[in-house]
Structure 1
């Protein structure tokens, strides 16, 4: 019940008030584990992507600081979010992430690890690619545009969902992690470039 109420409120806020535009919902597999890999500009990103994925609930790894606010903690838990300690290997969070994938759930991980306040994409960390390679889970690249300015609106606000990148289960060596990160980063950049070209001509 909590999820349905939160979902209805956020749908109204994002689609009616902020005029959120979503592309690529047809690219979301309707069953089975996936890793959702978006760029990160704002604390608004998880709920924005949550409403964009209208048929599946994404279980996010999110910094534990967000859970210190009782209301925000309750709100993001409605979307299956669980805390992760930053700056160290959080084995509890990793076990939870593996449980979500084993259960066939979508797992959301921001490859940049933190919000990137400037234009463009930041450096990708190893977490997303390592989990994908360890488990052989497809990665769905997602581009979020315009969230950086929220709650103000400057230009278009959009969530663009790319086609899944198939991943073969294997040992996550540094080389394989870097290779997968480059592929996913390229897909996200491509989604952004193609959309902005259409919007601005």
Structure 2
């Protein structure tokens, strides 16, 4: 289902409407084994992030509340989404995304944990970093600037910018696990903020 729907959306959004501008494509790892993160203010980022690395497929972590309805939950799973308990995350929360990474697949995470403007006062949660580190995969940071309403995906222009991947396996062995998590989370936060600022400046100049 993911391949079918993404093919249609790609044709409409990228080929016909030309409403997606992607910067930093050269930073996208050739191997699909990575965690891609992005700022998250609406559901449009979910779609546009998928379009920006098409035809590679993203396996998204999504809050479990979206899966309450049996049929809608089944539909989401057919689109490679899987439920996560954000209020009570446990070891089982990590098993699925780590398994996907080890299968050389791409995991998509919005590290703010919810739809919110990315600001100085909105530090990133550690989930993306923890999963990438345990899965031995790099983190591909991205920022989004564009329409927040679904219709804007066709009528307006959306911008996504990727930064250089953050390697999670080359840290000094002398660092403790919590120190690595803290360092990588801060690095992701800084790079995401830089990408967001650069993208805002680019869009405002157009």
Relative to the length of structure 2, the TM-score reads: 0.82
The change in CA–CA distance for 1:26 and 1:73 in structure 2 (over 3 A counts) is farther
Contact 1:61/1:93, CA 8 A, preserved across alignment: no
The change in CA–CA distance for 1:93 and 1:156 in structure 2 (over 3 A counts) is same
Pick from 185, 188, 193 the counterpart of residue 189 of structure 1: 193
Q: Secondary structure at the match of 2:164?
A: coil
Contact 1:63/1:86, CA 8 A, preserved across alignment: yes
Q: Secondary structure at the match of 1:21?
A: strand
Deviation >6 Å, runs of 4+: 169-172
Q: Which residues of structure 2 form unaligned runs of 5+? A: none
2:123 is matched with which residue?
A: 123
**1:143-187 Cα deviation digits (max 9, x unpaired):** 11124x213549742121222111127787333222111111211
Q: Secondary structure at the match of 2:169?
A: coil
Q: Secondary structure at the match of 2:197?
A: helix
49-58 or 129-138: bigger deviation: 129-138
1:83 is matched with which residue?
A: 83
The change in CA–CA distance for 1:20 and 1:113 in structure 2 (over 3 A counts) is same
Contact 1:39/1:188, CA 8 A, preserved across alignment: yes
The change in CA–CA distance for 1:199 and 1:89 in structure 2 (over 3 A counts) is closer
Where in structure 2 are the equivalents of 1:98-137 lying within 5 Å? Answer: 98-116=98-116, 118=117, 120=119, 122-137=122-137
2:68 is matched with which residue?
A: 68
1:91 Cα deviation after fit:
3.3
What CA RMSD, in Å, does the superposition of the two structures yield over aligned residues?
2.6
The change in CA–CA distance for 1:172 and 1:145 in structure 2 (over 3 A counts) is farther
2:178 is matched with which residue?
A: 174
Q: Distance in 1 between matches of 2:75 and 2:13?
A: 16
2:4 counterpart of 1:5: yes
Contact 2:32/2:105, CA 8 A, preserved across alignment: yes
Q: Secondary structure at the match of 1:113?
A: coil
Q: Secondary structure at the match of 1:163?
A: coil
Relative to the length of structure 1, the TM-score reads: 0.84
Aligned positions, number:
198
The change in CA–CA distance for 1:179 and 1:119 in structure 2 (over 3 A counts) is closer
